[in-house]
Amino acid sequence: MDEKTDTQTGRLHLMNLITQIIIQVQELTLLIWRVVRGLTRRPRYWGETIRQMDNLGFGSLVIILLTGTFTGMVLALNSANTLQKFGVQSVTGQLVTTSLIRELGPVLTCLMLAGRVGSGIAAELGSMLVSEQIDAMRALGTDPIKKLVTPRILALVATAPALTVICDFVGVLGGLLISITLLHQPASVYLASAREAVDYNEIIGGLIKPTVFGFVIACIGCYKGLSTTGGTVGVGRSTTQSVVASSIMVIAVDFLLSKLIISLLLEP
């Protein structure tokens, strides 16, 4: 009897979980639709969008510089020994550049943004919701979606590719530093090898990923913030959920985009 009860309880929990996931996906889809529909209607808060670009983009510059630099240094350091075994240590620059442009640059940049920006968006909007500031905006005739959500999504979609380019660039420089100081490789050899890894298809593929990732992070952060319940405790819970969900989605979407980009752009 107890085993039967436990089985029924487990099935009930599973059904509740599936129902909650379906409801959240539906609400997130409706939020995205309202944002897209609002782009064609006035008012448009361009000033707020620029302010968010400065806050979300420029404010994340330091952590992106550090992430890119040390990633490039680690790539050069770890790959050199393996390449040396095959007598092709001269392609260290190409390996570092290709790895950064294709994969590590976009993914690491957006994971950093998910931790800093996604959590910040969820915390800010969640605090506004529990303190009834959003209700006050509605009472004054202002659409919170157009005023709060749309500028943040546009700002992150615009700044994520730019930050990724910066991450790639400093990563290549970090690899160059290690190649010169520890691997004793001439800078001209490293740079010539790195230049071979850069072409239009690689660059396009490397910019598509962070654009999509930025959209995903912003949407999840805004949705979690606007669905906050439970007062200040709920704000912390929404912030944590935003970071976890954004990070998982970045990795999952990265696989799908990688397959698509390889099929359309990178296959000979």
pLDDT tens string, the chain, 268 residues long: the values are 455 666 767 677 778 888 888 888 888 889 889 888 888 888 888 888 999 999 888 888 999 999 999 999 999 888 877 777 777 777 888 888 989 998 899 999 999 999 999 999 999 999 998 888 888 888 888 888 888 999 999 999 999 999 999 999 999 999 999 988 888 888 888 888 888 878 888 888 889 999 999 999 999 999 999 888 887 888 889 999 999 999 999 999 999 998 888 888 766 5
Instruction: Please give the pLDDT value at position 266.
Output: 65
Is 19 domain-assigned?
Answer: no
Determine, yes or no, domain membership for 10. no
Q: How far apart are CA 65 and CA 73, in angstroms?
A: 12
pLDDT of res. 1: 47
At 112 the pLDDT is 94
Q: Determine, yes or no, domain membership for 30.
A: no
- pLDDT computed for residue 36 by the predictor: 87
- Our CA dihedral for 53, 117, 71, 258, rounded to 10 degrees, sits at -90
CB 28 within 8 A of CB 219: yes
- For 169-184, give the DSSP string: HHHHHHHHHHHHHTS-
Q: Distances in Å between the alpha carbon of 251 and those of 64, 244, 256?
A: 18, 11, 9
Residue 16 lies in a domain: no
Cβ–Cβ < 8 Å for 100, 167: yes
Closest by CA to 170, choosing from 69, 102, 61, is 69
The per-residue pLDDT for 233 is 86
pLDDT at 5: 66
Q: Which residues contact 252 (CB under 8 A, 6 or more apart)?
A: none
CA atoms of 110 and 93, how far apart (whole Å): 23
For the chain, how big is the Rg over CA atoms in Å? 22
In a domain, 36, yes or no: no
Residue 28 lies in a domain: no
What whole-number distance in Å separates Cα of residue 241 and Cα of residue 119? 9
Q: Containing domain of residue 75, as a range? A: 45-266
List of residues 6+ apart from 94 with CB closer than 8 A: 193, 194, 196, 197
| Terminal alpha carbon distance of the chain | 62
Q: Which helix (H) or strand (E) holds 80?
A: helix 61-85
Number of folded domains in the chain? 1
